[in-house]
């Protein structure tokens, strides 16, 4: 029946779209509002920085530089301006995103009002002009609104608004205040282009645009070399993924002749199911996803990305940008449905990433690093879901993760803020992110403590918290797919797909256990036990201002009740079931069904209860283990770490992956380029032997020129000019 519905959708003419003439016509304003914020905040940050030098500095070479007071003067002036105009940035920055959220909500209501007619109408597409007209290739600036992009838009603008508000407090004293909001606004703009774009190239604009903003914000405090390094690394690793995305687009254009979603969905039926072509397209797309969403082996940039301001980590490196890969796969469901082999690899990569990152999270001391590895791990879950075709489960976990991980990051931000202020008071140079400097913060910041526990329970999968429902749905979907699906019938290296899927299910459970352990460890080290910040600092530890705790509280509510978005059927006593599944069905149901091999497997209630029981048991076990393990003085000896060997040391060093890439990839490439290509081939062979050799041959020819050059060279210019004029002029007018 679903198939029939979707076919009807494809045939419906755009003019008769139920959203035509409604507030949805203003969809173009969604990305433009934050763009406007970017322009205003950008001007606010750059106009005071402008110092027109003296008009003709060259006339006095000493005036231009060697004035070391220059920077101080600049900073003093910038600060004055800063105080005067900060308020404007504080209003403009969050306001544009807030208005975008209100508009998105209005469009959402219009979509709700359109009712069932929307389910059959397909996406609402609007074209605003031509971008790249080239022969038969016609790429337009087009936006597309459907249930999936609507949901993403609500998350981006909603969580985005909260994080903008939080930033007012967090970045209050930063000299780059307006610049910060400019970048953050620009990020929201590109993120909305990413989810609202109507074709792969337009999506790619947002895709690389958010990468740019991520680069700028990771390196926001660029005077520290490690921050600048981290930003650059993020961009370059993302580019490796983008290479895959580009090749996927070339394949699509060369074989399907279109790059619009609508066109690709329609033309996908021409592809051979499970053929080499569609598998290649999907795997290249997935390479892009692995870069953006930090999956193995391209996850390496995300932990370093924590160098940016903490609200950035919350918005970009947890709630929105890094989930773009999941969105892309859900968006390309029509392709992935035809490529069960690629889908299996997606799920397997996700499961391995989830476990791999979770184990690293066990041994980190930097509170943000724990959360970063946790994000990598949770993204792995989403790819597991996307891989087995449970697209709505993937998007559900994307949503709940956006709530609880944003809350965790912002909570960590408010902890870091408190420690930073305290150390600032006593002028001590200590690491405000190191959990060994925390402990016992519960007494000083009870609101943050309570909210972060809620988020921890959610990520650990404790019942009724949002993460429980979404993680449970993913594990259930994997289990169901292992029982019966198109993927389960494949063989990979001789192993049956269903066996691999059962393996993925087990990996998921193990990861859930480890997640519960490392998150509890983090909470215990941060908030419980005795305080280790320092005697002098302790009186200065206090809760963040309301502008920061307010957004935390809102996220707390979402973290606790987010599960109600998509209650499983077996828990229908709690409220309306499967709201999200039903909302997304027009977009993803067909692809999910194809991958499932006809119809999504329905597990019996007994099985579902068993699965839920296993998940709950694992999370309780993990929390209990951590409580027992990390009880007591809770003070790790730094010296003990140095003595660590074997696996312990390897885990703490994130399995030496970064060091290995540096030693075996980056350094050899640089050495090759410098010694062989540049000094050897360029300077040595081409220039030294060939060019200079020819030069020797030419010396005879150049003899005359050499004689002329001993004379006045200026005269020669005259000769050229007059000669050219004579040749052209005289002959032309004869």
Which residues between 329 and 358 bind other proteins (CB under 8 A)?
none
HSE-up of 54 (CA within 13 Å, CB side)? 10
**DSSP string spanning 595-624?**
HTTSSPPPPPHHHHHHHHHHHHHHHHHHHH
Number of residues that bind other proteins (CB under 8 A): 94
User: What binding mask, one character per residue, do residues 143-182 give for other proteins by CB under 8 A, x or -?
Assistant: ----------------------------------------
Q: Contacting other proteins (CB under 8 A), which of 236, 276, 557, 647?
A: 236
Nearest alpha-carbon partner for 119 in 36, 253, 40, 19: 19
Give me 1's structure tokens: 């029946």
Q: Which region, judged by CB under 8 A, interacts with other proteins, from 353-361, 445-453, 548-556, 690-698?
A: 690-698
Q: Is 703 in the site for other proteins (CB under 8 A)?
A: no
208 binds other proteins (CB under 8 A): yes
Stretch that binds other proteins, among 24-32, 209-217, 467-475, 560-568 (CB under 8 A): 209-217
Binder among 79, 117, 173, 709 for other proteins (CB under 8 A): 709
The only residue of 26, 28, 222, 664 in contact with other proteins, by rule CB under 8 A: 222
Contacts of 689 (CB under 8 A, 6+ apart): none
Is the separation of the CB atoms in 312 and 221 below 8 Å? no
Residue number with CB closer to other proteins (26 or 74): 74
Is residue 698 at the binding interface for other proteins, with CB under 8 A as the rule?
Answer: yes
Residue 30: half-sphere exposure toward Cβ, Cα within 13 Å: 34
Residue 229 is a binding residue for other proteins (CB under 8 A): yes
SS3 state of residue 59: helix
Residue found by looking up tokens 């209100």 in the block: 102
Q: Which stretch binds other proteins (CB under 8 A): 198-206, 353-361, 421-429, 482-490?
A: 198-206
668 is a contact residue toward other proteins (CB under 8 A): no
Q: Interface with other proteins includes 133 (CB under 8 A)?
A: yes
Q: Which of 16, 134, 642, 643 binds other proteins (CB under 8 A)?
A: 134
- Among 21, 115, 129, 633, the residue binding other proteins under the rule CB under 8 A is 129
How far apart are the C-alpha atoms of 537 and 419, rounded to whole Å? 8
Pick between residue 557 and residue 725 the one whose CB is nearest to other proteins. Answer: 725
**Residue labelled with tokens 């410098």:** 674
Instruction: Count CA atoms closer than 13 A to 693's CA, side-chain side.
Output: 7
> Per CB under 8 A, does 696 bind other proteins?
no
Residue 137 engages other proteins in binding (rule: CB under 8 A): yes
Q: How far is the CB of 700 from other proteins (least distance, A)?
A: 12
**Pair 503, 355: CB distance under 8 Å:** no
Q: What is the DSSP letter of 28?
A: G
Tokens of 562: 């987010």
Q: Tell me which of 249, 347, 560, 567 binds other proteins, using CB under 8 A.
A: 249
Write the DSSP symbol of residue 26.
G
Give the residues across from 339 on adjacent strands.
none
Q: Under rule CB under 8 A, which residues in 488-527 are in contact with other proteins?
A: none
Q: Which of residues 265-324 bind other proteins (CB under 8 A)?
A: none
In the three-class reduction of DSSP (H, G, I as helix; E, B as strand; rest coil), residue 54 is classed as coil
Among 243, 502, 561, 655, indicate the residue that binds other proteins (CB under 8 A). Answer: 243
Instruction: Write down the least CB distance from residue 51 to other proteins, Å.
Output: 6
Q: Which CB sits closer to other proteins, 647 or 677?
A: 677
672 touches other proteins by CB under 8 A: yes
Structure token digits, residue 680: 């050897």
Question: In a 3-state reduction of DSSP, which class is residue 129?
Answer: strand
Q: What is the helix (H) or strand (E) element at residue 107, kind and residue range? A: helix 69-114
Least distance (Å) between residue 438 CB and other proteins = 29
Give the shortest CB-71-to-other proteins separation in angstroms.
5
Residue number with CB closer to other proteins (207 or 583): 207
**Could you say whether residue 694 binds other proteins (CB under 8 A)?**
yes
In 3D space, the residue among 218, 188, 174 whose CA is nearest the CA of residue 86 turns out to be: 174
How many of the other CB atoms lie within 10 Å of CB of 58?
A: 9
Of residues 8 through 67, those in contact with other proteins by CB under 8 A are 46, 49-61, 64-67
Cross-strand pairs, 491: 496
- Residue placing its CB nearer to other proteins in the complex, 231 or 551: 231
Q: What is the DSSP track for 348-390?
A: HHHHHHHHHHHHHHTT--BHHHHHHHHHHHHHHHHHHHHHTT-
What sign results for the dihedral spanned by CA atoms 382, 386, 388, 393?
positive
- The yes or no reply on residue 664 touching other proteins (CB under 8 A) is no
Nearer Cβ to other proteins, position 635 or 695?
695
Q: Which is nearer to other proteins, 95 or 228 (CB)?
A: 228
């Amino acid at each position: 029946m679903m198939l029939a519905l979707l076919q009807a959708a494809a045939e419906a003419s755009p003019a008769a779209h139920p959203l035509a003439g409604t507030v949805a016509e203003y969809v173009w304003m969604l990305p433009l509002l934050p763009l406007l914020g970017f322009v205003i905040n950008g001007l606010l940050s750059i106009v005071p920085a402008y110092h027109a030098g003296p008009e003709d500095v060259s006339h006095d070479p000493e005036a231009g530089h060697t004035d070391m007071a220059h920077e101080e003067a600049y900073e003093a002036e910038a600060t004055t301006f800063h105080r005067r105009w900060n308020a404007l940035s504080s209003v403009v920055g969050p306001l544009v995103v807030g208005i975008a959220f209100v508009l998105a909500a209005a469009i959402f209501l219009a979509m709700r009002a359109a009712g069932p007619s929307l389910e059959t109408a397909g996406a609402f597409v609007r074209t605003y002009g031509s971008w790249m007209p080239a022969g038969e290739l016609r790429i337009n600036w087009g936006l597309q609104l459907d249930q999936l992009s609507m949901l993403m838009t609500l998350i981006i603008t909603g969580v985005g608004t909260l994080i903008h508000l939080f930033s007012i407090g967090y970045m209050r004293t930063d000299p780059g205040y307006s610049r910060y909001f400019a970048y953050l606004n620009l990020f929201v703009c590109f993120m909305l282009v990413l989810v609202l774009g109507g074709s792969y190239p337009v999506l790619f604009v947002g895709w690389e645009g958010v990468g740019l903003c991520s680069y700028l914000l990771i390196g926001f405090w660029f005077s520290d070399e490690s921050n600048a390094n981290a930003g650059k690394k993020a961009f370059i690793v993302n580019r490796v993924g983008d290479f895959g995305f580009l090749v996927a687009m070339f394949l699509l254009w060369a074989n399907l002749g279109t790059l619009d979603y609508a066109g690709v969905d329609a033309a996908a039926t021409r592809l051979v199911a499970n053929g080499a072509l569609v598998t290649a397209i999907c795997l290249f797309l997935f390479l892009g996803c692995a870069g953006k969403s930090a999956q193995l082996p391209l996850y390496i940039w995300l932990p370093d990305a924590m160098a940016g301001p903490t609200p950035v980590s919350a918005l970009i490196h947890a709630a929105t940008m890094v989930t773009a890969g999941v969105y892309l796969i859900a968006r390309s469901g029509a392709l992935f449905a035809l490529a069960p082999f690629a889908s299996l690899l997606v799920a397997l990569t996700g499961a391995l990433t989830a476990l791999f990152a979770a184990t690293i999270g066990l041994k980190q001391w930097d509170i943000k690093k724990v959360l970063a590895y946790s994000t990598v791990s949770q993204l792995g879950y989403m790819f597991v879901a996307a891989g087995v075709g449970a697209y709505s489960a993937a998007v559900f976990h994307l949503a709940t993760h956006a709530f609880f991980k944003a809350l965790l990051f912002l909570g960590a931000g408010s902890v870091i803020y408190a420690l930073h202020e305290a150390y600032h008071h006593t002028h001590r140079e200590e690491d405000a992110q190191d959990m060994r400097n925390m402990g016992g913060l519960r007494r000083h910041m009870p609101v943050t403590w309570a909210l972060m526990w809620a988020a921890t329970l959610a990520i650990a999968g404790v019942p009724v918290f949002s993460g429980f429902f979404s993680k449970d749905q993913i594990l259930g979907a994997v289990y169901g797919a292992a029982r019966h699906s198109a993927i389960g019938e494949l063989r990979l290296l001789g192993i049956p797909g269903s066996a691999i899927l059962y393996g993925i299910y087990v990996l998921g459970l193990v990861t859930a256990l480890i997640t519960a352990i490392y998150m509890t460890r983090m909470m215990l080290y941060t908030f419980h036990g005795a305080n280790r910040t320092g005697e002098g600092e302790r009186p200065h530890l206090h809760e963040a201002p309301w502008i920061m705790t307010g957004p935390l509280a809102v996220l707390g509510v979402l973290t606790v009740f987010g599960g109600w978005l998509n209650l499983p059927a077996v828990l229908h006593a709690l409220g309306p079931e499967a709201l999200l599944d039903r909302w997304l069905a027009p977009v993803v149901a067909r692809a999910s069904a194809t991958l499932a091999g006809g119809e999504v497997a329905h597990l019996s209630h007994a099985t579902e209860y068993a699965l839920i029981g296993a998940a709950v048991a694992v999370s309780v076990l993990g929390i209990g283990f951590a409580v027992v393990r990390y009880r007591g003085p809770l003070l790790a000896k730094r010296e003990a770490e140095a003595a660590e060997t074997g696996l312990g040391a390897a885990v703490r060093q994130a399995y030496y992956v970064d060091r290995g890439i540096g030693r075996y990839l980056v350094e050899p490439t640089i050495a090759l380029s410098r010694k062989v290509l540049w000094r050897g081939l360029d300077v040595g062979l081409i220039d030294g032997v060939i060019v200079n050799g020819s030069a020797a041959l030419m010396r005879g020819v150049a003899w005359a020129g050499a004689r002329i050059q001993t004379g006045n060279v200026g005269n020669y210019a005259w000769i050229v000019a007059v000669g050219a004029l004579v040749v052209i002029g005289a002959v032309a007018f004869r």
